[in-house]
Structure 1
Amino acid sequence: MKTAFFQLDIPSTPNDHKILGNVLQGADALAISEIAEQHQHLTVVVTPDTRSAVRLSGILSELSSQEVRLFPDWETLPYDTFSPHQDIISSRLSALFYLQNAKKGIFLLPIATLMQRLCPPQYLQHNVLLIKRSDRIVIDKMRLQLESAGYRAVEQVLEHGEYAVRGSLLDLFPMGSAVPFRLDFFDDEIDSIRTFDVDTQRTLDEIQSINLLPAHEFPTDDKGIEFFRSQFRETFGEIRRDPEHIYQQISKGTLISGIEYWQPLFFAEMATLFDYLPTQALLWIWKQIKHKGSVFIKMQNSVMNNAKRILYVPYCHRNIYG
């Protein structure tokens, strides 16, 4: 075990809290690293903003012997009509999947991200597919499974959430993975699984299995879309027949830009990060997060109050931040 530079008095019982003062920028990473060493379970660090979380993630990845995970913000404005980049969704899904089995480590996120509602843990538990070499599955069935999970068919795989079929080869860039994979089928059996380079498209290392996470933070299969339709009608009542209307678009399987802010309609009940955390997780927070959280709430309320049309979000009582 790594030897600590100094011993800190950390909380040891539920609802206990300690105050660590006069920690300058730069020294905060050292203090967090030492606390994570002393604490025998997961250490969760809530920062005032994204910049602080990214800074600490970079330093702690070099400084600490613990696994360091960053849970990123969507990097869109509240109720935006733009969707987060697929790489961000990939990192978020990977982080949530990690939390479900995390025993020890450092998990960082900004306060605005902590305030956001999430897909229920059961969604990930029931929608992760383990693919192994020698698995028997017809390539066309695999393609249907990928489409059901929200993956996009393309000519050439370049980013997360894409797949391509060429004869007996299936290229796939799973969410949460640092590299894409090439599955080589022999009849109805996966003969090999190899990583490949996105730029050169050349195969690299052979592996035995991969975890396939869903492509989105909400279900996109027929059952998920039908649930959305039901919840939309219950929430908004009369449905416009305009083919460009959100209801009509999603009904035919078109995932419009900004669909993430409709996420509460895909689930009976949303979750928070605390639903993912192990019971003995230690929470480190900055004094400034109360102010930062208030600023964020004012901003998202301003967007809602100033809107001149139906926002890309259900009514306030089903707010993704509420």
Structure 2
Amino acid sequence: MLGLPFFRRGRSPHAFDRDDRFAILTASIHRLPAGFGSSDAWLLAQRLAPENATAASAAHDDPTERPPVTGKTRVIVCAQPADCSRLAAEIAWFAPALAIARLPDWETLPYDSLSPHQDLVSERLSALYRLQGRKLDVLLVAASTAAHRLAPPSWLASRTFQFSQGMKLDEAALKAQLTLAGYEHVEQVLRPGEYTVRGGLIDLFPMGSPLPYRLDLFDDELDSLRTFDPDTQRSLYPVKAVKLLPGREFPLDEAARSAFRGRWRERFDGDPSRVALYRDIGNGVTASGIEYYLPLFFDETATLFDYLPEDAEIILHGDVQGQLQAFRADARQRFDFIGHDAERPALTPDELFLSPEQFFVRSQAFAR
């Protein structure tokens, strides 16, 4: 139901302030206040779960491959990041048939010279891939995370591959493909984004996968695929196919590095050869905090809204408006403090994040 902005006594009804604009922008979007205990999760589960869903729908070894059952994607934007994890677990308990995922935060502050943990990047790429492919019933995301600009959906789709049992596979070509996708060659595979080759065996931990895989080659044919335990290195159970997502949220091939350097020279003044981060990218090294230069890897960045199916629905949980405004103020303050360092210049908040107004304008297309 559409709401009307609140007019203060003594003001002209045409004299809108920022709060009035937000009231209009959010009027048609479902809003759910933070509840007591698990009441909010129960209400969401009752609203989102289809009546004919059964517990059998939830029987799947890998929850990241659970098929959707509602035919429609709902995105729950939480004001508090902690509510994303809580709601994901509790909604899954109340409605186990739903295909649910989180889009986790990088867990870094704006303009940090730290990079997110590889497990977080893995979970993010998996969520975006499933979201783009209409393979989710529910996505949970923090408001500040939803404001980040992202790699274009077309890039993620073009860098995702699949291997299946019985296909022809050239070992040298596979190694080149893994390197191009951003995977790291290691002695022993332990975490997402790593691979190793030992004779005819290839151990591979795809991004977005809960377990690594062991590929057994017979000549140039993929003879078998099995999961294995990264701690014991023992094989677990066979699978028919393996999905390979990119190893990072940005490309690092020669063309991408060249484009990055070109855009850096256009964007920043001074001698770029004096900047360690610029030199690292030229050498194919991912410097810590490179994620806050993501727009320099692409002609255009995307946002979470570009990954949503046209019939998706957005639900706001808690004071999303206030959280977006606080995040914007923090990003601006940090940019003003550290953004003009000649040895590590920074992109503006507008280049990296959606403003609160932009977020709610884009949300209007998904208000149901």
Normalising to structure 2: TM-score of the pair?
0.79
2:329 pairs, out of 290, 298, 312, with: 298
Structure 1 residue 320: Cα displacement? 4.3
Answering whether residue 120 of structure 2 is matched by residue 88 of structure 1, we say yes
- Aligned residue in 1 for 2:287: 256
Work out whether residues 171 and 180 of structure 1, in 8 Å CA contact, stay in contact via their aligned partners in 2: yes
Q: Is the 8 A contact 2:32 2:317 kept in 1?
A: no
CA distance in 1, matches of 2:135, 2:183: 30
CA distance in 1, matches of 2:209, 2:79: 28
Structure 1 or 2: more helix by fraction: 2
Shift in CA distance, 103/127, structure 1 to aligned 2, threshold 3 Å: closer
Alignment partners' CA distance in 2, 1:22 and 1:98? 27
Deviations 1:127-168 (A, max 9, x none): 101111122122121111101111001000000100111111
Instruction: Give me the whole-angstrom Cα distance separating, in 1, the residues matched to 2:217 and 2:36.
Output: 56
Shift, 1:37, TM fit: 2.5
SS at match of 1:241: helix
> Which residue is equivalent to 1:202?
234
Deviations 1:67-97 (A, max 9, x none): 1111100001111111000000000000000
* Kept after mapping to 1: 8 A contact 2:33/2:318: no
- Size of the aligned set, in residue pairs, is 308
- Post-superposition offset of 1:66: 1.1
Offset of residue 239 of structure 1: 3.1
For residues 244 and 262 of structure 2, what CA distance do their matches in structure 1 show? 28
Percent identity of equivalent pairs: 37
- The whole-number CA distance in structure 1 between the counterparts of 2:34 and 2:182 is 47
Structure 1 residues 304 and 18 mapped into 2: Cα distance closer, same or farther (>3 Å)?
closer
2:185 paired with 1:153: yes
Alignment RMSD, CA only?
2.0
Give how far 1:316 is off: 4.5
| Aligned residue runs from structure 1 range 154-303, under 5 A | 154-242=186-274, 245-303=276-334
CA distance in 2, matches of 1:22, 1:267: 37
- Distance of 1:276 and 1:298 partners within structure 2: 26
Query: Counterpart of 2:347?
Result: 314
In 2, Cα distance between equivalents of 1:201 and 1:104: 31
Which residue pairs with 1:112 in the alignment? Answer: 144
Instruction: Provide closer, same or farther for how the CA distance between residues 42 and 116 of structure 1 changes in structure 2, counting only shifts above 3 A.
Output: same
Q: Distance in 2 between matches of 1:18 and 1:284?
A: 5
- Aligned partners of 1:81 and 1:312 also within 8 Å: no
Unaligned runs of 5+ in 1: 1-8, 10-14
Partner SS state of residue 172, structure 2: helix
Distance in structure 1 (CA, Å) of the matches to 2:136 and 2:196:
37
Q: Greater CA deviation, 230-239 or 63-72? A: 230-239
Q: 1:303 to 1:20 in 2, by over 3 A?
A: closer
* 8 Å contact from structure 1 (residues 117, 321) kept in 2: yes
Q: 1:76 to 1:231 in 2, by over 3 A?
A: same
Separation in 2, partners of 1:21, 1:266? 38
Q: Compared with structure 1, are the counterparts of its residues 285 and 227 closer, same or farther at alpha carbon in structure 2 (3 Å cutoff)?
A: same
Deviation of the 1:219 alpha carbon: 0.8
Following superposition, the deviation at residue 103 of structure 1 comes to: 5.8
Is the deviation greater in 110-119 or in 59-68? 59-68
Aligned to 2:160: 128
Q: 1:313: Cα distance to partner?
A: 3.7
